[in-house]
Amino acid sequence: MAIFTEILTGITLPVLVLAALGWFAQRRLAFDLDTLSRLMVNVILPAALIHFLTSAEIPLIEIWPTAWFVLLQFAVHYVMGYGLALILGQGAEMRHMFGWLIAFPNSGNYGLPLIALTFPSDFLLHQTVAVSAHMVLVSTAGIWLMARGGPDGPSVAKLLFGSPVLPAVAAGLALKGFEVSLPVAIATPLELMGDALTPMALFLLGAQLTTVTTETARGPLASTAAIKLLAAPAVTWALAVATGFPDAMVAFFVVGTATPTGIMLAIFAAQYRAQPQFVSAIVFFTTVLSALTVTGWIFAMRLAGLMP
């Protein structure tokens, strides 16, 4: 019990306290969330991704297993969500949405700070790969599935180049792959942006949660939250062990998967009118419940001897 309390107070609660600060500040001061979101997506996140990719000490080749495993677990979790929707008798649109709700974790706003507090610094590079993969998936296939047939559906060019996130990932991978050292005048601002990512991401997460609604059916809500927070990390654990990853990476994948559903999904669902109330409710409740479930999974990883 003492270890569980230590994890809760030392890792999980600091993450949620910053998010709570954003929630209360937004309720009181009513920031322009569109501006804050654009600042995060178009400036801070791309700069941080380039910094994490170029400054990591481990070779680039060591992150390729992370990349393919993130895509594998995403596919498996998507099938889990789709299957749950079939069991609940949901229509075609909701089946796809259930898949995204299970498969798309908050690997950026929540995951990056969580991994930074829980694992050695080199694991931030692995988490950067996860964030990059998830951003690519949700900003291409995710938006296409939500927007298809609607009047606001984006073009392929806009999906690929509508934000600097994908070009930033490509630039960071190229610089790291060719071992290019950035000049101090560029590297230092990127590092400062990287340092700003954690508090800004959590603050924005809390502020964005003020916009979500929780008016939805309790049965699908409870089952989806349970699959996302409990079943998905357990399946990831089994997948990582079965594919031969070392203990520390198994723990990394499990903890990263245990994060709540990503709020970007709620933003896009609202924009393209794809079940926004249900998506927002899942984001809200999984974020609230993650205080206990994420702590529990970190505790389980320690008990299993997979992490110190």
What are 38-54's pLDDT values in tens digits?
787 788 878 888 888 88
Mean pLDDT, residues 116-129:
86
CB-based contact 293:229 (threshold 8 Å): yes
Which among 282, 283, 157 is positioned nearest to 222, based on CA atoms? 282
Based on its alpha-carbon atoms, the radius of gyration of the chain, rounded to whole angstroms, reads 18
Asked if the model's pLDDT at residue 217 lies above 60, the reply is no
In Å, how far are 38, 69, 93, 162, 170 from 147, measured between CA atoms?
A: 20, 28, 11, 15, 26
Supply the pLDDT for residue 214: 57
Q: What tokens were used for 57?
A: 């000490």
d(CA 251, CA 254): 5
Supply the pLDDT for residue 155: 54
Asked if the model's pLDDT at residue 208 lies above 70, the reply is yes
CB burial readout 22-35, b (16+ within 10 A) else e: bbeebeeeeeeeee
Supply the pLDDT for residue 264: 74
CB-based contact 17:156 (threshold 8 Å): no
Range of lowest pLDDT (14-18, 57-61, 149-153, 224-228): 149-153
Supply the pLDDT for residue 124: 84
Which among 139, 140, 127, 143 is positioned nearest to 70, based on CA atoms? 127
Indicate the burial class of 2 (C-beta count within 10 angstroms; 0-12, 13-18, 19 or more).
exposed
Residues contacting residue 102 through CB under 8 Å, at least 6 positions apart: 77, 78, 80, 81, 84, 224, 227, 228, 232, 261
Averaging pLDDT over each range in 116-125, 273-282, 294-303, which range is the top one?
294-303
Q: Calculate the average pLDDT of the chain.
A: 83
Asked if the model's pLDDT at residue 293 lies above 90, the reply is yes
Range of lowest pLDDT (116-120, 185-189, 239-243, 295-299): 116-120
CB-based contact 53:169 (threshold 8 Å): yes
The CATH architecture annotation of domain 2-303 reads Up-down Bundle (1.20)
Q: What tokens were used for 26?
A: 């937004």
What are 176-201's pLDDT values in tens digits?
878 888 899 999 999 998 888 778 87
**Percent of residues, the chain, with pLDDT higher than 70:** 89
Q: What tokens were used for 247?
A: 């203990």
Confidence band for 3, pLDDT divided at 50, 70 and 90: low
Supply the pLDDT for residue 145: 75
Q: What is the pTM of this model?
A: 0.81
